[in-house]
Structure 1
Amino acid sequence: HLLEHESFKPEHLAYIASLELNFQGPCYESEPKYLGITPDFKASYYIGAAWLTFDKAVVVTPKMVNIDFVRMFMSALRFAPSSSYFPKFYGISFSKPKIESEKLDNILTPLLIIHFLVSVNRLLEKGLKKGYVIREENLHTKIKRKILLSKHYSKNLVNGRSDRVMCAYEEYSTNIPENRLIKRALLFAQRTISIFPAMQKHQIYTEISYLLSKALSAFEGVQADVDISSVRKVRMNKLFGEYGVVVNLAKQLLKRYDYSIDNVGNEKNWVPPFWIDMARLYEVYVYSLLYNAYPGQIKFQVGGYYGTAVDFLKMDERLIMDAKYKPRYEYSDAGCLDDIREISGYARDEYIVNKQTDILKMKIKSK
């Protein structure tokens, strides 16, 4: 067990070195190997759990103990500009055995549920997708499409119900496999929230409950039974662009509990191997705050030369801003000089400066 940026204890170093693992450090916007542990056996800015060998795991938890993850997740996800960026800074490996960690369960579970609920509610803005589904019905004194002879015999003829005909026909409905999968995941989310103290006691529990209630109401006419393997790939179109994201999140939530709602309570404190890039999460959280405070003035991840990118540009004041996932310089100026050099470099980057000028010119012309 490590904290972010913490080294392995001296008594463990010889054993870690004997494993001869290829520790590579951080990987930008992609899955880090061994949680981004560096070649000198030091944790990076990733939190999560990973297997080092078939029976030895490493768990990295946040260095700042009072981080409000629930609020960070909600703030980052509630506004549209971060929706495409958010999935880049966390990943889950459901194919590997689970790892025990109470602290990480209190982070991963809210992350999955909030990401799922916010995405479902964004999907609802355009309405539920419909499609043709096969419906079986025991019709009264009429025939529709195809008679199901075997079922008609067992349900009606054997019981003397000559006034009924068991039929199968196509119906244009919201009760399609994708929606059934989402409905099932919503029920899992409902069950999880009901037994998860970290979410029930939070200030935004009312908001989370509202998102869940709104989604369940919209899916009221959709059944929850579905063969998950049948929802392999969602056909994308411009009108229902959110469906691919929501279906993937629904599958992840169901996999979290091995597809059984009875496991929701039993799986507490056990998590699949996963990682969260805390630096990127913090960037998006700050972006959401700036975006709401200064509408239309904030540009995010503006690229410069040599693959660099500044976190934020504030266009009206021509400010260059960079988010740093670290405690404030309350007790020490350690690292302050490096941070100043970095942001000074962005300010001298002609590509960033020119891009800022070009955007300002476009705004002036549009007026």
Structure 2
Amino acid sequence: MGFRLSEHKSIHIQFEEIQNNTLNLDSVTLFETVKSKRFNQSSHCFIVSHSETGLHLQADYCIGLDWLGNTGRSLYIEPKINATSAQLFNLKIEDESEEVQGEPEIFNSKEFELDYLKMLLQVTGIPESNAVINGLIQIDWEAKPIAIEQQNDKLTPFLVVRFLQTLKSIVRKGLKKSYYKVQENLTNRVKGKILVGQHIKQNVFRNRFISTYCEYQQFGENHVENRFLKKVMLFASSYVENHKDLFGSNYSDIQHTINFCHPAFELISDQVEEYQLKHIKHNPFYKDYATALQIGSYILKKFAYNITQTTTEKVTTPPFWIDMPRLFELYVYSKMIEANPADRKTIHYQFSTFGNALDILVSKPDFQMVIDAKYKLKYNNENGTIHEDIRQVAGYARLKKVREKLNVTDDSTIDCLIIYPDMENGINILSFENIMKEENRKEIKAYYKVYKLGVKLPYIERNYL
């Protein structure tokens, strides 16, 4: 049995909740094995603080599932965000504004379950954002798997969508062709080399004196990599078909992707073993193949290489974490590319200089802006600001390389924008025109030419009691 949390929320666990309501030295020792866990330098998976009676667990900006030390209990953080809890969570950050006094206004207590699969579909559907999607997920294959209900499995749908979208990109460009070995019993001819052992078994012992069992190389699409991709596609297709409810409104889009990819693999075999991929050298011209093969191996490992596992209702999954702040950054980037197709080359993601990486830099002559995507709901409050974030984005705008990239030669100040999730009043279309509208872009009063903009994220409509 494990503990369940939503993003940003917290829970206090008493010693008695771990070992059959018995407080003893062993239970205290087990609690000491529970430590905070980081996803990267900027995000925690969860934060732990110990007390005399137990421990306090605080969910951060990641969703996932993991063991709590050696207690034998697990922690499951689901993709639900709540405006009120998010404000309280962000109180730990110092707010220096004189305009904000006392406790934050409790403006909304509605809880939204984020449709993280739709966000992933959006990101992987745009070539520019799909090309920089690495680092979204961490999976601990060495740890003991955790038993959960299929409906609570967030890892497998994520991997399936990621694989199918990458496969769709491969099919669009055309399947890779390569040399591969073929073993065949030929009649009245010899090709390649004779496999003596097989020839004796198949032909000599059976008096087939005009046949020769040979191995030769052939050039085409039915090579090991494509056979492996087809095998994984069959697993993914079976999983999607047997668990439509896990994909919700995304099911039709995912099924369309499967139908799009299937004809390309019709003449390709699915007979392959994973060990055959170990010595393959990836061609940099086919970058999507390396990604698809890696994710495909995760999917087969998740199902223990048994396709019947795709239909079970209770499953085991390795501990994993999904970086929601990075997914949000990529979502914003993909929405901007989608809404400004003619200016897509002026939208730069992770522009780096002197160890600093900007989320988004827009270099269009009449629209020059430094944009930072912050997965924080505190900005929903009219006066809600985090000064550390504003100093960061303003600092980016002062970098000489940024000004050179924007061709700013005078002393003018570059506009800065913080984009944050706003589930009720945010905008959906991130065109330059929409971003510049005064009713959408709000000026942060304590700063000069620093603005904030809410973006609506896809969510699943359910009734929570």
Q: Is the 8 A contact 1:257 1:267 kept in 2?
A: no
The structure with higher relative contact order (CA 8 Å, sep 6+) is 1
Equivalents in 1 of 2:337, 2:272: separation in Å? 39
Residues 276/141 of structure 1: CA separation in 2 closer, same or farther (3 Å cut): same
Question: Contact 1:25–1:44 at 8 Å: present in 2 too?
Answer: no
Cα contact 2:203–2:209 (8 A) shared by 1: yes
3-state DSSP class of the match of 1:342?
Answer: helix
Task: Give secondary structure in 2 for the equivalent of 1:152.
Answer: helix
- The structure-2 alpha-carbon separation of the partners of 1:333 and 1:187, relative to structure 1 and needing over 3 Å to count, comes to same
Contact 1:300 1:313 in 2 (8 A): yes
- Residue 58 of structure 2 is matched in structure 1 by 42
1 CA distance for matches of 2:129 and 2:247? 26
CA distance in 2: counterparts of 1:143 and 1:26, whole angstroms: 58
Secondary structure at the counterpart of residue 88 of structure 1: coil
Tell me the CA shift for residue 72 of structure 1.
0.5
Q: Residues 205-244 of structure 1, C-alpha deviation per residue, up to 9 Å, x if partnerless?
A: 3332232233222222322121212212541333222221
Find the counterpart in structure 2 of residue 187 from structure 1. Answer: 234
Q: 2:186 aligns with which of 139, 156, 162?
A: 139
Instruction: Choose from 298, 309, 315 the match for 1:263.
Output: 309
1:59 aligns with 2:76: yes
**Alignment identity in percent?**
28
Structure 2: gaps spanning 5 or more residues: 18-26, 50-55, 82-111, 409-465
* Greater Cα shift, 239-248 or 276-285: 239-248
Write out per-residue CA displacement over residues 275-305 of structure 1, whole angstroms, 9 at most, x where no aligned residue. 0111111111111111111232423234577
Contact 1:298–1:313 (8 Å) recurs in 2: yes
Q: Which residue of 2 aligns with 1:314?
A: 362
Q: Which residue type is aligned with residue 177 of structure 1?
A: V
Q: TM-score, normalised by structure 2?
A: 0.67
Shift of 1:137: 1.4
Secondary structure at the aligned position of 1:72 is classed as helix
Q: Is 1:131–1:172's contact at 8 Å kept on the other side of the alignment?
A: yes
Matching residue of 2:40: 27
SS of the residue 2:215 aligns to: strand
Q: Tell me the CA shift for residue 328 of structure 1.
A: 7.6
Q: Counterpart in 1 of 2:444?
A: none
Match of 1:2 in 2: 5
**What is the aligned residue count?**
353
**Residue 275 (structure 2) pairs with residue 229 (structure 1):** yes
Question: How far is the alpha carbon of 1:347 from its aligned partner?
Answer: 2.8
8 Å contact kept, 1:234–1:243: no
Aligned equivalents of 2:130 and 2:195: distance in 1?
46
2:373 alignment partner AA: A
Q: Tell me which moved more, 163-172 or 282-291.
A: 163-172
Match of 2:255? 209
Kindly indicate which of the two structures has a greater share of residues assigned to helix: 1
Give the direction of change, closer, same or farther, for the CA distance of 1:156–1:317 in structure 2 (3 Å limit): same
Secondary structure of the residue that 1:312 maps to in structure 2? strand
1-structure distance, mates of 2:327, 2:150: 18
Q: 2:121 aligns to what?
A: 74
Q: Which structure is higher in strand share?
A: 2
- Larger Rg: 1 or 2? 2
Q: CA RMSD in A?
A: 3.1
- Give the TM-score, by structure 1 length: 0.83
In the alignment, the residues of structure 2 paired with residue 23 and residue 344 of structure 1 have an alpha-carbon distance, to the nearest angstrom, of 27
Q: Structure 1: give runs of 5+ residues left out of the alignment.
A: 363-367
- Contact 2:193/2:216 (CA < 8 Å) preserved in 1? yes
